[in-house]
Chains A and B, each alone.
Chain A
């Protein structure tokens, strides 16, 4: 059993929906990331998603693009991100950590080396945005041999056949992108999301996480009634961005919005 499946099983037993919080590793500087991860877990994030900085984040909106640029100014590499997870694991053995990033840094390291270093540092799952299952043969072999969950995205444009194929390749959970757009874009329409999520559930028993465009406790609560996990990123990263002049304020701001979301989700 991976940490991710354990986490979902425990939450399901308590009839709770997972809250997944995303930050870009090394934003705005590398020293803040590990303490912030601990604070997020304490504030009610069940899973932490750590963005791996990339020079060309094609699927991200402006907020996360700028976070990537801030981290890259400090030269934060994929290896550095895995070191951060290793450090986080010294104080937290339970909260699953998922890396989310783009393929080229993984290619530069090599699939096998990446999978083994990820496992070794305490990473539980990996989302590689621009790696569709069609191209993922060797990548999946590497992840599976290390027991790292390969998490794939599904989108409003995904048809039946793709949903079925992707659910077969996926492990850990599947990530439903709730709208046509980039991260942090317009608010998703709850009815459309609900319809697509129930379609996805016909193809898999894996938990379904819903992300993109969830901005506040109200939308988190609404999505919690649809998915098994609510994924929030741009809203957290914008809290970081708003506190660049006052780094002390970053952690409290991120903790406050996460706690508010957690409370709203727990009301259902």
Chain B
């Protein structure tokens, strides 16, 4: 099992956007030059002091960063074992880590002279985070959302509309997140001249996986400083949920060279990996090409993408960021899966013990973290990314309890 030196992790991706065999640039010809322009602009502004100062200022005064690192004392005690710390991305403006990325990409869109923003969304968190920054900067905004997701996330649809975005229902394919992404790509190819496509996760064609990783890495940079300041030492393990994988890579990336730190990504096992009704491509899928990059996918033997299942709409995606695929193959990170039921138990446990209602996505990370911590000792530390808050999931959880709100 190769554990690589600093350079092996921090030199990736290569010029073509590859993480080993994963990533790359697999799109129709019309998008190739626009993606090259995006890449050039991104590389230019990530070395531009004015851009970075504006980004830092927005993260501080608009998003509310740094987000706290919180020692979950009662949860740790109830679990027995390692101390559990939570990185509180749920306290960001709009309630999740998604806004770290949309703020960054919107600033880039402004520098590139684009006037129209498009995005895809599943649960609606990325759509809301995009509509939010579009409202602030005065961009026209169109969000694509699967018709199935629109029906189960009414509150977020309304939030996006309040923010001035047009929400377009996608009626093709499985009518969920992957189809919303297809439709956003179709819009982009048609309106390439004035439109900036803000992808919400570390997937898609190069440079999106590296760009979104860099914007989300603020999570891990802060967490690394905070844990040393608060505990006088680094963590023994990191835990984050993985759908596309943006909150996870944001936490993991600044720790990749810390060899003693175990890294765990938690996928959605849905009704159980054995049932086939899950959203765990790293645990149970195989390599393929979708949405512009090569990565692990949920697919049948003929290469058709298959429908996924998870109680959390944000994890309900058949692919995963290519850097996660690479971290899995190199052995630097381990990927595990947690069922709907285990995630719900963790949702209730954190709410009860700490007074923090987590998003169902983040509840997957909590579920695995407590399992992991239970087998460790009190001098050890597990650091969990609490990627979002659970307000958006009230309807889902209430209806499981037989309550209509």
Binding site for B on A (CB under 8 A): 54-62, 65-66, 69, 72, 77-79, 102-109, 129-132, 134-135, 152-159, 162, 166, 177, 180-182, 185
B190→A182 contact, CB < 8 A: yes
A162→B32 contact, CB < 8 A: yes
Proximity string of chain B (33-45) to chain A, C-beta cutoff 8 Å, 1 when within and 0 when not: 1100000000000
Whether a CB of chain A sits under 8 angstroms from the CB of B172 is yes
Determine, out of B133-141, B288-296, B375-383, the stretch whose residues face the partner at the interface. B288-296
**A61 with B186, Cβ < 8 A, contacts A55-B304, A158-B32 known:** yes
| Chain A, residue nearest B292 (CB) | A130
Q: Give B320 Cβ to nearest chain A Cβ, in Å.
A: 15
B26, B189, B303, B304: the one contacting A132 at CB < 8 Å is: B26
A55, A177, A180: the one contacting B192 at CB < 8 Å is: A180
* Interface set, chain B 14-70, CB cutoff 8 A to A: 16, 24-34
Binding site for A on B (CB under 8 A): 16, 24-34, 172-173, 178-179, 182, 185-186, 189-193, 287-292, 294, 297, 299, 301-306
Q: Give A253 Cβ to nearest chain B Cβ, in Å.
A: 24
A54, A109, A135, A177: the one contacting B30 at CB < 8 Å is: A177
In the bound complex, what is the Cα–Cα distance between A129 and B31 (angstroms)? 11
| Chain B, residue nearest A129 (CB) | B28
In the bound complex, what is the Cα–Cα distance between A267 and B163 (angstroms)? 55
- New A-B pairs, 4, CB < 8 Å, besides A55-B305, A130-B26: A58-B28, A78-B302, A105-B302, A107-B294
In the complex, what residues of A have CB within 8 A of residue B292's CB? Answer: 130
A104→B288 contact, CB < 8 A: yes
In the bound complex, what is the Cα–Cα distance between A134 and B16 (angstroms)? 8
B172, B179, B185, B289: the one contacting A107 at CB < 8 Å is: B289
- Central interface residue in A55, A65, A103, A152, by most chain B CB within 10 Å: A55
In the bound complex, what is the Cα–Cα distance between A199 and B29 (angstroms)? 16
B305→A56 contact, CB < 8 A: yes
Q: Give A147 Cβ to nearest chain B Cβ, in Å.
A: 24
**A55 with B173, Cβ < 8 A, contacts A72-B304, A108-B303, A130-B289 known:** yes
In the complex, what residues of A have CB within 8 A of residue B173's CB? Answer: 55-56, 65, 69
| Chain A, residue nearest B31 (CB) | A157
| Chain B, residue nearest A131 (CB) | B26
In the complex, what residues of A have CB within 8 A of residue B301's CB? Answer: 108
A109→B192 contact, CB < 8 A: no
A78, A130, A134, A156: the one contacting B28 at CB < 8 Å is: A130
The B contact surface, by secondary structure, is mixed
A58→B182 contact, CB < 8 A: yes
In the bound complex, what is the Cα–Cα distance between A258 and B220 (angstroms)? 60
| Chain A, residue nearest B286 (CB) | A108
A134→B304 contact, CB < 8 A: no
A104→B186 contact, CB < 8 A: no
In the bound complex, what is the Cα–Cα distance between A69 and B178 (angstroms)? 15
**A79 with B29, Cβ < 8 A, contacts A104-B288, A135-B24 known:** no
In the bound complex, what is the Cα–Cα distance between A156 and B178 (angstroms)? 27
A102, A130, A159, A185: the one contacting B33 at CB < 8 Å is: A159
Q: Give B62 Cβ to nearest chain A Cβ, in Å.
A: 33
**A107 with B29, Cβ < 8 A, contacts A55-B173, A58-B182, A185-B190 known:** no
In the bound complex, what is the Cα–Cα distance between A130 and B192 (angstroms)? 17
| Chain B, residue nearest A105 (CB) | B303
A104→B172 contact, CB < 8 A: no
In the bound complex, what is the Cα–Cα distance between A218 and B301 (angstroms)? 43
In the complex, what residues of B have CB within 8 A of residue A65's CB? Answer: 172-173
**A69 with B186, Cβ < 8 A, contacts A130-B28, A155-B30, A157-B33 known:** no
In the complex, what residues of B have CB within 8 A of residue A131's CB? Answer: 26
A54, A62, A154, A156: the one contacting B304 at CB < 8 Å is: A54
What are the nearest 4 A-B pairs in CB distance?
A: A108-B303, A105-B303, A155-B30, A77-B302
Q: Give B397 Cβ to nearest chain A Cβ, in Å.
A: 31
In the complex, what residues of A have CB within 8 A of residue B193's CB? Answer: 180
In the complex, what residues of A have CB within 8 A of residue B27's CB? Answer: 58, 130, 132
In the complex, what residues of B have CB within 8 A of residue A156's CB? Answer: 30
A104→B297 contact, CB < 8 A: yes
In the complex, what residues of A have CB within 8 A of residue B287's CB? Answer: 107
In the complex, what residues of B have CB within 8 A of residue A157's CB? Answer: 29-34, 192
In the complex, what residues of B have CB within 8 A of residue A56's CB? Answer: 173, 178-179, 182, 290-291, 305
**A180 with B32, Cβ < 8 A, contacts A54-B304, A104-B299, A134-B25 known:** no
B25→A107 contact, CB < 8 A: no
In the bound complex, what is the Cα–Cα distance between A102 and B291 (angstroms)? 11
Provide 18 A-B residue pairs closer than 8 Å at the C-beta atoms, listed in order of the A residue.
Answer: A56-B173, A56-B179, A56-B291, A58-B291, A61-B186, A62-B172, A104-B290, A104-B299, A108-B288, A130-B26, A131-B26, A134-B25, A153-B28, A155-B28, A157-B32, A180-B190, A180-B191, A181-B189
| Chain A, residue nearest B183 (CB) | A58
